[in-house]
Amino acid sequence: MNAIQYVIKAVAANSSIPILQGIHIQAGADGVTFTASNTSMTIQSMIAQDGFSLTVKRKGAIVIPSRYFHDIIRKFNDDKVILEIKEPMILSIVSGHSQLRLCGMDPTEFPSIDDGEAFPSTKLRISTSLLRSTIKQLAIVASTSETSPILTGVSLECSNDCLNLIATDGVRLAYRALHLEDATHNILNAVIPAKNLYELSKILNKTDDTTEIEVSNNRVKFVTTGLKVESALIEGTFPFIKNVIPQSYLCEIAVDTACLLKAVECVTVMASEQVIRLVANADTLKLLSKTADVGDIQNEIPLLEMCGEEFVVSLNGKFFIDILRNMDCASVRLRYSGKTSPIVVLPDDSLMSTLFLITPVMTR
Amino acid sequence: MNAIQYVIKAVAANSSIPILQGIHIQAGADGVTFTASNTSMTIQSMIAQDGFSLTVKRKGAIVIPSRYFHDIIRKFNDDKVILEIKEPMILSIVSGHSQLRLCGMDPTEFPSIDDGEAFPSTKLRISTSLLRSTIKQLAIVASTSETSPILTGVSLECSNDCLNLIATDGVRLAYRALHLEDATHNILNAVIPAKNLYELSKILNKTDDTTEIEVSNNRVKFVTTGLKVESALIEGTFPFIKNVIPQSYLCEIAVDTACLLKAVECVTVMASEQVIRLVANADTLKLLSKTADVGDIQNEIPLLEMCGEEFVVSLNGKFFIDILRNMDCASVRLRYSGKTSPIVVLPDDSLMSTLFLITPVMTR
């Protein structure tokens, strides 16, 4: 059931190619692989033959309709399941007193995940839990609009022992630098669809395993214990963003993250077009919003630190919430650099490897 | 938050009458009532003034926009909340460091739940948990199609110390007789919208409280601790169903409820147009289904008892699941009375107060 639930996220449910609506099952000497694929992403989940949770009696492969397979295996819940190809292209499933026959499709017609193996590629290793939290922080900031396809991706840029990840939708920007233990000699430059990364983050184990990332010319493959995820890359050049990050600031404040998140969530409820206003005074940050004919709200949270001049800025509360929810640091720093400059949001740790920008909303 | 979540189910969110999109709040000597109403149902929830969870400082009433109120109170979660009318038609809400002002509407324009108080009515008392489980069994069987409005209701029929409830959508039928502790002298005949009863069942406390049911000419009111729910009645005459229930049978079988439910759920996954086939043999009940070009399934469960001849019947698996899921008895009896007669499903207890019918599907 786990294996099926992992791969089903890549099934092309509405594809005009019938075989992509299926799950490819392959029983081999090592165990069984389940694979699903759409034009953008392939997910493969493996159950190892350990003589206990899985035994392979005979090798074979078939592609079967994903929805029926998923629904029926779910109904069997705790019971043991026997999968067998008795007649050509028919999978027999026996569990308890249930006997099922599912019509399958030719497994040789299914796209293989290992196609790109021979291509020259760059390999990186990274902690799975770090990759997972990084993806969550970045994928939410990527654009969801297809008007600028390159911005629907997360940019990976790598040189020596540093992996830089960037996502932006034009209003927000997220940047994170990860230290690599094994320096790479290749220069890497790839843009991965954010929605594929988001699916990946949901199925990555929470264990402190490492994940191998293998980038070739037109695809990227993530490999961890029992799981392979392959994604197409987005063609094009990711915008150069170094110039967008303000290099100096007029004011910096530090606030408790949970406290700020709660306040922003509160005032955003009453915000017309999600616009909230921040007012940084001597020792408090005031948050305000209103909707005409409905009402208004204000909320105050204490500042942990402030250096520089008082400021007032309006921004999109929903966008701010997205950033704060994925912040894994007890306090955050906000930097104000003037009315038209983006607000810089930094986790308040000593690493300084993560940075968010959020562009103010101009109000009358 | 609980009080708001109860009443919000009755808010007419898309009503063209703005005041029905609101929640009526009234602070009185006894406590605070929250009321929401649509044209079909009114829900009123009360928080008693106990000096601990609620204190009324000053009496007053207002109607405020339900969505904003619900969303903002949810954000405050654990904190204490102060509601105050400082300016006319404006509700001020203070919680922690948040201050909110919500524009309200005139409370005198809100429909009152007590309008019908003066009308002659019939009163019944019934155990809340019994009412709850009865509604769940019956409401799911009622029709959802407006082509025959009377069948979207559950019929209540009462004489002496017996309350009969009936629901049917033309294919299924559910009947339950409840014993009343206080015999009533009035004859009661009312049809209540099943969807209102279903909402009621979701908010009825699970405690072993009793609920008072008060039926007048055109409405019914359910009253239990802290809660009043009023529903309109459906006009018309509920079909006479006594003739539909087979009085004799060719075969009766008894099976384990959980075992049967699991088997029906399994085979329904593979059922074309949800049609499954039951085959009762000497000591097993076989369940089968198939979908052309996809596959087939069969499942077998042991019979606990069988008397009469073997039979084969096809029926709608989804409808059968609905009935079995709300069966609160360890085993069930199925009675077969011939190819064209409905199957009778009975909880296998000594009470014989509940009965379901399900009409077979004719197959080639």
Question: Who among A101, A295, A301 is closest to B295 (CB)?
Answer: A101
Amino acid A25: pLDDT: 98
Q: What are phi and psi of A351, to 5 degrees?
A: -75, -35
Tell whether A298 is within 8 A of chain B (Cβ): yes
Amino acid B364: pLDDT: 65
Q: How many CB atoms lie within 10 A of CB A214?
A: 18
Task: Note whether B246 and B296 are within 8 A (CB).
Answer: no
Mean pLDDT of B75-85: 87
Contact A270 B68 (CB under 8 A): yes
- Four-point Cα dihedral A87, A89, A94, A95, nearest 10: 180
Sign of CA dihedral B253, B255, B261, B265: negative
Nearest to B138, CA basis, from B111, B106, B176: B176
Amino acid A121: pLDDT: 79
Contact B269 A71 (CB under 8 A): yes
The Cα A152–Cα B261 span in angstroms is 45
Residue with tokens 């699941």: B321
Does residue B116 have a pLDDT over 80?
Answer: no
Task: Note whether A153 and A246 are within 8 A (CB).
Answer: no
How close B97 gets to chain A, by Cα (Å)?
Answer: 5
Percent of chain B whose pLDDT exceeds 90: 80
Mean pLDDT of B174-199: 89
Amino acid B188: pLDDT: 85
How close B70 gets to chain A, by Cα (Å)?
Answer: 10
Residue with tokens 């007193």: A97
Nearest CA in chain A to B95: A299
Does residue B80 have a pLDDT over 60?
Answer: yes
Contact B99 A297 (CB under 8 A): yes
The Cα B325–Cα A1 span in angstroms is 23
Nearest to A172, CA basis, from A233, A245, A240: A245
Nearest CA in chain B to A65: B294
Nearest to B325, CA basis, from B266, B264, B270, B251: B264
Tell whether A102 is within 8 A of chain B (Cβ): yes
Tell whether A94 is within 8 A of chain B (Cβ): no
Strand partners, B157: B164, B189
Amino acid B258: pLDDT: 96
Contact A295 B102 (CB under 8 A): yes
pLDDT digits (tens, 9 = 90+) for B59-78: 999 999 999 999 999 998 76
Amino acid B78: pLDDT: 67
Task: Note whether B256 and B301 are within 8 A (CB).
Answer: yes
Q: What are phi and psi of A50, to 5 degrees?
A: -120, 5
Question: Best mutation site among A86, A269, A289, A303 for testing chain B: the one with the most B CBs within 10 Å?
Answer: A269
Contact A295 B76 (CB under 8 A): no
- Give me Rg for the CA atoms of chain B: 25
Amino acid A188: pLDDT: 85
Decide the pairing of beta strands B251-256 and B227-232.
Answer: unpaired
Alpha-helical regions (H) of B278-316: none
**DSSP H or E stretch at residue A317:** helix A317-325
**DSSP character for B105?**
B
What are the C-alpha distances in Å from B314 to residues A99, A240, B55?
19, 66, 61
Contact A100 B300 (CB under 8 A): no
The token pair at B21 is 């999109």
- What amino acid occupies position B260? L
The Cα A200–Cα A265 span in angstroms is 27
Report residues of chain A scoring pLDDT below 70: 78, 114-119, 185, 364
**Residue B119 binned pLDDT confidence (cut-offs 50, 70, 90):** low
Which residues lie below 8 Å from residue B142, measured CB to CB, with a gap of 6+? Answer: B151, B152, B153, B154, B167, B168, B169, B194
Between B208 and A67, the higher pLDDT residue: A67
How close A187 gets to chain B, by Cα (Å)?
Answer: 47
Task: Note whether A317 and A262 are within 8 A (CB).
Answer: no
Amino acid A118: pLDDT: 54
Between B339 and B121, the higher pLDDT residue: B339
Contact B296 A97 (CB under 8 A): no
Alpha-helical regions (H) of chain B: 2-7, 66-76, 128-139, 194-203, 257-269, 317-325
The token pair at B204 is 């009825």
Alpha-helical regions (H) of A140-280: 194-203, 257-269
Question: Who among B68, B99, B267 is closest to A269 (CB)?
Answer: B68
Surface of B (244-273) touching A: CB under 8 A: 262-263, 265-267, 269-270
The Cα A108–Cα A97 span in angstroms is 32
Tell whether A299 is within 8 A of chain B (Cβ): yes
What structural domains does chain A harbor? 2-109 (3.10.150.10), 120-243 (3.10.150.10), 245-358 (3.10.150.10)
Does residue B115 have a pLDDT over 80?
Answer: no
Tell whether A51 is within 8 A of chain B (Cβ): no
Question: Who among A75, A101, A297 is closest to B265 (CB)?
Answer: A75
Contact A99 B298 (CB under 8 A): yes
How close B240 gets to chain A, by Cα (Å)?
Answer: 39
The three-state secondary structure class of B111 is coil
Amino acid B228: pLDDT: 95
